[in-house]
């Protein structure tokens, strides 16, 4: 089942929250900064052992001080206008996060709106990709949660999910 929530992803008690990271996996701003602050410095120490992550791939870490049991870090594309393979990389970020979750018996997972902040991906196009991949994987999870920071993004996701469910 897909759920759409407005709020702070670091507060969720789920098997895994997904981080919109950068390829270093060592922290940054936005949701990445919030997750590292809430998880504690052990997350950065652990991620040093992972050796980074290319765009579109995903890596697993423990949740440390988070209510969530795991952090799945993925790296979305930086938006360069849309002709640099951004859509495929964004789709892969969602898909590889969900595949990594399945391989680790994760049944409840929460995603932020990957790439739509500092990385500049147009929000509506990104939401369509996110929700289409979530729909595809929905039967294999107990909960797939999209967590939106702003009311605007929350409303956008609600609208697009209704559109997709009507197809």
The site string for ligand AR6 over 64-83 (x = CB under 6 A, - otherwise) reads ------------x-------
Q: What are phi and psi of 62, to 5 degrees?
A: -70, 160
Q: How far apart are CA 94 and CA 130, in angstroms?
A: 7
Instruction: Single out the segment in contact with ligand AR6 by CB under 6 A; choices: 14-22, 59-67, 97-105, 155-163.
Output: 14-22
162 CB burial (10 A radius; 0-12, 13-18, 19+)? exposed
Q: How far apart are CA 149 and CA 113, in angstroms?
A: 9
Query: 38-67: which residues touch ligand AR6 (CB under 6 A)?
Result: none
Q: Is 90 in the site for ligand AR6 (CB under 6 A)?
A: no
155 included as an active-site residue: no
Q: Is 29 in the site for ligand AR6 (CB under 6 A)?
A: yes
Instruction: Single out the segment in contact with ligand AR6 by CB under 6 A; choices: 5-13, 65-73, 129-137, 156-164.
Output: 5-13
Instruction: Single out the segment in contact with ligand AR6 by CB under 6 A; choices: 52-60, 98-106, 128-136, 147-155.
Output: 147-155
Q: How far apart are CA 141 and CA 135, in angstroms?
A: 10
Angle at 97 between CA 120 and CA 131, to 5 degrees: 60
Q: Is 136 helix (H, G, I), strand (E, B) or coil?
A: helix
Sole binder of ligand AR6 in the list 14, 96, 115, 127 (CB under 6 A): 115
Catalytic positions, please? 32
Task: By CB under 6 A, name the binding residues for ligand AR6.
Answer: 8-10, 20-22, 28-32, 34, 76, 112-119, 147, 149, 153
């Amino acid at each position: 089942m897909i759920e759409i929530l407005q709020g702070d992803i670091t507060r969720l008690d789920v098997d895994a929250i997904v981080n919109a990271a950068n390829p270093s996996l060592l922290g940054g701003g936005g949701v990445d900064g919030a997750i590292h602050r809430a998880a504690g410095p052990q997350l950065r120490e652990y991620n040093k052992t992972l050796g980074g992550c290319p765009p579109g791939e995903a890596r697993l870490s423990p949740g440390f001080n988070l209510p969530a049991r795991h952090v799945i870090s993925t790296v979305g594309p930086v938006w360069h206008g849309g002709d640099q393979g951004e859509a495929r990389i964004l789709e892969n970020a969602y898909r590889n996060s969900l595949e990594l979750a399945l391989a680790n018996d994760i049944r409840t997972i929460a995603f932020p709106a990957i790439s739509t902040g500092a990385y500049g991906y147009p929000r509506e196009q990104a939401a369509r990709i996110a929700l289409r991949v979530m729909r595809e994987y929905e039967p294999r999870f107990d909960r797939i949660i999209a967590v939106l920071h702003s009311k605007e993004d929350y409303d956008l996701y609600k609208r697009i999910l209704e559109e997709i469910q009507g197809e």
